[in-house]
């Protein structure tokens, strides 16, 4: 922070011209005409512009602020900006400003500002520090806010359509499953998005006279909102068709990949884990196409086995090989199928949980809930594991979509 003797805060009564605020920025250009031209230019721009001192105290706003809010420059500089920012955004804005001021860097966030008519509109605000020449000492901050209300409204319409599309095209998982107590979790990286590129699917497969086989699928595709919903529905329904066609699991995924590549149906690449659980002999046959390893906790030993990739990502090239593997479960074993949002998470980009960190957390969660009944146990493990992952991430929060299925091998036929 700039020492008090170096701060040149403008009195609110004088904070009416950009030329005054920019005086500190243009010491080599003392000509007042230069600054006046800049002030005139600022009033002609469509953004809300402002200048604060090094401590974040307001010193100047352009005319558009006054025209939009109905407040005078003196009122804005005296703290009026807090009165016109939406109450739900104000605390978030102050916290982010404090963080940026302490850690350095630029400020950026979206918030709502009330107009003189009483209506709120969304703005994208960015601010950068101006430092003394040859020094890290901050002289002041210059910021601009761009009206993005119409864009946000369009995105909200897309989210609504995407949700309806996903619900219409993708059947809900069945209520009862043979031999597994299941629980699921889904969260998009952006809380307001509702629809992301990660998804899961659970459905029965024909097996002679009894339906003892169940498909468990978790996907990770590129895209958000409408693009994500469209791609998730495409991949999920095509995989269902391939498995219903009595292809082997390996053959089904290979066929799916060929069509995706040949018809160019993906925006980028996709990863998936698809397993077929046969309750008759408690065998899980699976293909992992470039996704994070699934985790299997063994009740007998307390150890965790990683079900690593058996093939490449989907959509890369035609002819890719996808091998299938099988593993037998025993009563009480716990299976977790995840996307990389569970592992690529941490307090910063250099400190990530990664698969080994998640493996340790999963092992702890399964051991802690070993005495609980199977139907409740799956849901409790999901809740506990998500809590542990969020705790590890800290204030950085979730950066990517998360989809997860957790199944407990048992005699119960329950989906929760």
Residue 114 lies in a domain: yes
Residue 105 lies in a domain: yes
Indicate which CATH number applies to the domain containing 368: 3.60.40.10
Same domain for 272 and 188, yes or no, is yes
**Mean pLDDT computed over every residue of the chain:** 82
Quick one: average pLDDT of 360-378?
84
- SS3 call for 21: helix
Same domain for 214 and 74, yes or no, is no
Residue 154 lies in a domain: no
- The helix (run of H) or strand (run of E) holding residue 118 is none
Same domain for 34 and 182, yes or no, is no
Quick one: average pLDDT of 131-150?
88
Domain total of the chain: 2
Same domain for 12 and 122, yes or no, is yes
Listed residues 101, 131, 147: the one ending a domain: 147
Does residue 35 carry a pLDDT above 50?
Answer: no
Same domain for 317 and 368, yes or no, is yes
Quick one: average pLDDT of 368-374?
71
The residue among 286 and 393 whose pLDDT is bigger is 286
Residue 159 lies in a domain: no
Statement: the pTM of the whole predicted model exceeds 0.75: no
Same domain for 363 and 228, yes or no, is yes
Does residue 78 carry a pLDDT above 50?
Answer: yes
Whole-number Å distance between alpha carbons of 297 and 289: 21
Residue 60's pLDDT is what? 87
Residue 162 lies in a domain: no
Residue 252 lies in a domain: yes
Whole-number Å distance between alpha carbons of 362 and 365: 5
Whole-number Å distance between alpha carbons of 13 and 289: 65
Whole-number Å distance between alpha carbons of 296 and 228: 29
Residue 196 pLDDT class (50, 70, 90 cuts): low
Indicate which CATH number applies to the domain containing 22: 3.30.450.20
Residue 255's pLDDT is what? 94
Residue 101 pLDDT class (50, 70, 90 cuts): confident
Same domain for 10 and 131, yes or no, is yes
Strands lying side by side in the sheet with 325-328 = 198-205, 213-221, 270-278, 283-289, 325-328
For 261-281, how does the pLDDT look when each residue is reduced to its tens digit (9 = 90+)?
999 999 889 999 999 999 988
Same domain for 233 and 369, yes or no, is yes
The domain of 210 spans: 172-415
Same domain for 106 and 249, yes or no, is no
Same domain for 196 and 86, yes or no, is no
Residue 164 lies in a domain: no
Same domain for 239 and 365, yes or no, is yes
Q: How far is CA 246 from CA 55, 80, 254, 321, in A?
A: 68, 68, 14, 19
Nearest to 254 by CA among 272, 268, 227, 230: 272
β-partners of residue 215 are: 203, 276
Same domain for 120 and 181, yes or no, is no
Residue 156 lies in a domain: no
Residue 413's pLDDT is what? 45
Does residue 245 carry a pLDDT above 60?
Answer: yes
- The helix (run of H) or strand (run of E) holding residue 278 is strand 270-278
β-partners of residue 214 are: 204, 277
């Amino acid at each position: 922070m700039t020492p008090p003797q170096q701060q040149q805060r403008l009195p609110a009564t004088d904070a009416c011209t950009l030329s005054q605020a920019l005086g500190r920025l243009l010491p080599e250009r003392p000509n007042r005409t230069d600054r006046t031209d800049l002030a005139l230019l600022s009033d002609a721009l469509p953004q809300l512009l402002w200048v604060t001192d090094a401590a974040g105290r307001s010193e100047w706003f352009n005319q558009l602020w006054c025209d939009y809010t109905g407040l005078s420059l003196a009122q804005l500089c005296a703290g009026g900006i807090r009165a016109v920012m939406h109450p739900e955004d104000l605390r978030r804005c102050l916290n982010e400003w404090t963080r940026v001021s302490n850690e350095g860097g630029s400020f950026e966030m979206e918030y709502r500002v009330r107009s003189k008519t009483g209506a709120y509109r969304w703005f994208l605000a960015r601010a950068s520090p101006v430092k003394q020449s040859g020094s890290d000492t901050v002289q002041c901050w210059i910021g601009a806010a761009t009206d993005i209300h119409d864009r946000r409204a369009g995105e909200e319409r897309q989210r609504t359509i995407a949700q309806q599309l996903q619900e219409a095209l993708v059947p809900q998982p069945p209520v009862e499953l043979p031999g597994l107590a299941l629980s699921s979790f889904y969260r998009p990286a952006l809380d307001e998005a509702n629809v992301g590129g990660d998804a899961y699917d659970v459905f029965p497969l024909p097996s002679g006279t009894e339906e003892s086989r169940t498909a468990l699928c978790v996907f990770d595709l590129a895209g958000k909102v409408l693009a994500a919903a469209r791609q998730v529905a495409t991949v999920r329904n095509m995989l269902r068709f391939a498995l219903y066609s009595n292809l082997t699991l390996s053959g089904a995924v290979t066929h799916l990949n060929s069509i995706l590549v040949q018809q160019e149906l993906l925006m980028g690449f996709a990863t998936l884990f698809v397993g077929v659980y046969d309750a008759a002999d408690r065998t899980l046959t699976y293909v992992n196409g470039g996704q994070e390893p699934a985790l299997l906790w063994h009740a007998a030993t307390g150890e965790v086995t990683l079900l690593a990739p058996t093939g490449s990502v989907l959509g890369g090239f035609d002819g890719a090989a996808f091998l299938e593997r099988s593993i037998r479960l025993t009563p009480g074993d716990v299976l977790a199928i995840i996307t990389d949002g569970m592992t690529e998470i941490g307090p910063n980009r250099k400190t990530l949980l990664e698969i080994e960190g998640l493996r340790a957390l999963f092992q702890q969660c399964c051991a802690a809930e070993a005495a609980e009944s199977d139907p409740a146990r799956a849901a409790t493990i999901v809740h506990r594991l998500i809590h542990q992952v969020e705790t590890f991430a800290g204030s950085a929060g979730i950066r990517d979509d998360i989809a997860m299925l957790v199944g407990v091998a048992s005699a119960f036929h329950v989906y929760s």
